[in-house]
Structure 1
């Protein structure tokens, strides 16, 4: 007589599409059996409880579990991944699994008497379980479906469940009777510290003061402070993001590859660089060493904030008519963090009654583009954006 678990296999040998017929009795039984095995595997992952036992080489964790099916070999790798650093054994009547930190061994089944009956941490676990039990969310039927009663005898917390269920109504009523803690009508806003006064003095004096700035750690690895340069009465101020390697060595803004591209754009527009005041949002070169090279690294929000006083002081001394921001960092420091360069590039922004601002891409962005065609197209856009300063400063 055929065994029920092999019936579909016998028939599939001659009926190739048998398993696609869901209404067939043998196929339905096979699907039901597979579902039962998967559920048993899920319950094993959820309800195994290890207990600590002292061993000659340190602690060993042993668990007793009673599966309905021979699933230990299928589920043991889950526990290897989950508890790789522990030495453990899972004992079951059908088969046992042992992990020594290196090798997984599958051996014959064991008796419940071979497993420990408790350990010192179980009282803590029961206390935790009792305190997270929420009587307002108690659904006994759903709980017993997910945690069938037959598993309770091996779960240390299960001994508490009947009493917790019995007391749930009383605890619920106590929660209702207890007066709620009413919130304050208004939560006071934190008091913002008064803004620090701007550094004082002429641009030359500001430059000397900035060399002594220790507001952020960027000064330590940098060669020197890279302050702005240009006329004290410049009508146009160019604000970049932060110095690069060559700017750090020279102590001047925009003298590296980005500066060369910037100068080429000015020349194409017929604008004299000497008429502009050129500076950066951040005054020190931030980098990551790679062998003998120093790779540019973006200044973080705290480092940008530390330098903001120097940029504000520069603009306060010069009081330019136009401010041109090169790159998102410069634009967001001047126009606000909501500014989006891709959407608002090349558009005039009124800063006050006498000052307008505009932003475009940073030259370094153009240099990083992958091919010559893309770089040429971006350079045309860059020149077009810079050319807009002629509208207000002919």
Structure 2
């Protein structure tokens, strides 16, 4: 059998490997019949061996463990990585479905070591990469330099997108660069360490913090070098302090031992409390900016969904959390439940555009099932996490009446679980000390889940609740 030559793109060409593996298995080419190489542009089989239909191949049905292993080995720098992975795929496709469970197999052992090396490199990048602030066309941007051992840039970049979604940043490496503009992640050509700006004020503060937390009694140079190898030191501002801190460790330990015990000084907390109060948002826009920058408590949401409506609205409606469509569009109550709410509000004589609509939880919590994102009810702890935002939001809006839609909204507004059947109707949210009147009803999504035979009656009761809320709001507005 003639040797098949496969040339893949530089770095971690995961898509190229998958396509080539499918085609080779479909063509019945064993591992010893394929020669893998890395070049400037991906090429499936040498031109002399290319034939119609050999560029595709049916999708391979591989065990989950194998499918998870492949993307963790492809970034490895070993030039034999693709050949080793194809040998694994070939054997699994030939019937060895549980091959990865045989730890003594030489191929499995070697691929396992490669996977660990890539995972360790990813961890080092996540832990030791440091951004520096710079100006880019008058706008704030952050830039970092890193020298990975393996081709991990594309695999590592999504971590920084999730961690620093609200910032604009670039990561430069000798092999390529990653750039995030707040909306799109793109990859570009290699960078140079000299492209990095000079140290900023934040680095000086970070060095001061590192020095103040350094414990001389726990200095362990061997552990320090193992966890933070010296190759990363020149890109980390705090490391320039380490030699001095280590030299003074022994004297510092003696001083700690010899120092007489003392009673902690009493401090007047009034200045600290005043400083904290001064940092609070002073407007709804400022509060929304904080919410928009905040990461979801449960990862996965696309964005925070902010409240919508005029300040000073007579009625504010509080729901549970954004749904799938709200998460995609960034607006509250635009999905099926929101459309039902809009219809009911119109029938009850409530102008949606004159009302304020928001949610107790600002991010969409869901479970993926295939291509669908299925709503997951937030826990009491998650509701508590977002309660401060809701409280301040209602302070800025200043409604006369707050309508709680469903049990989660009631939990957020009262701090305790209250059955909707018992609380439905006018309700006093005592936690807010009579800053506004309350009203409790069901969430419109509850109506969507009912059997068809019960929907008409439940919807009529919901509209009747909204009519009562409208009348109460009109009375409160005077």
Output the TM-score relative to the length of structure 1: 0.48
Larger Rg: 1
Instruction: Return the structure number with greater relative CO, CA threshold 8 A, min gap 6.
Output: 1
Output the TM-score relative to the length of structure 2: 0.40
